[in-house]
Structure 1
Amino acid sequence: MKYLMMAVFMAVAPVMALAEGKAHKVAIHVDENDPQVMNMALNNVANVISYYESVGDTVEIEVVTYGPGLNMLVAGKSPVEDRISVMSLEMDNVTFAACGNTHAAMQEKAGKDVPLMSEANVVPSGVVRLIELQEDGYAYVRP
């Protein structure tokens, strides 16, 4: 009986794994103040989610911005602000990280507060955040 149960488990386990789908994690890096790059990053987000959903998998995506790329998350200035707002409402598996170092330097240079979009999660360092995500098994993508 023990061997029969083991054989059944070995036969069913792969099917169960397929039914559950695989979980993926992706970090997308944006460090350019270029609307084409920003839109390509958002296209990558949409395409990756669409693909993995179509095969029954799940995916978590974090878009990490720093340097000139932080403009992607500056309220009232981002060329993709509306698109990010819509995506954030429709896709709960996407987050946006804003480099705290870049944000502080941007505010110092401007001599005033530089508001970020509500979707932005400020992290101490964009580069460090990318390192942490990769150490946590995230695939790295740079559009």
Structure 2
Amino acid sequence: MQPTATVLVYSDDANTREQVRLATGRRPAADVPQVEFIECATPAAVLKELDRGGIDVCVLDGEAVPMGGMGLCRQLKDEIFQSPPVLLLMGRPQDAWLATWSRAEAAVTLPVEPVEFASALAALLRTRLAIGA
């Protein structure tokens, strides 16, 4: 198992990025590596980081402005070969159909609920690291 996993967090809201960091802690579950965060406040920064490589999971804020995480997720899935799995933060449970449209692998609602979020992130990390991507 690798020593750390890299999680990209996209939100224009610093409080949302903080909620993600706090919900994750050092690691979201005992059987996954410690997490290192890369925080992005703009879609351009997300694309730049993904071009660099080494991202294991993306956490995208569906409520971000000017481009929401759902649209950004769909763009990533269309444009990046073997895009990292995406955990989408949704404003409302009724937006689950949009998460499906965006092709996100998982989605949770805002505000971040630590147990639910950590469980979803850990599941994506297990899948990503198991395939050796």
Give the TM bin, normalised by the shorter chain: 0.3 to 0.5
Larger Rg: 1
Taking structure 1 as the reference length, what is the TM-score of the superposition?
A: 0.43
Give me the TM-score of the superposition, normalised by structure 2: 0.45
Greater helix share, structure number:
1
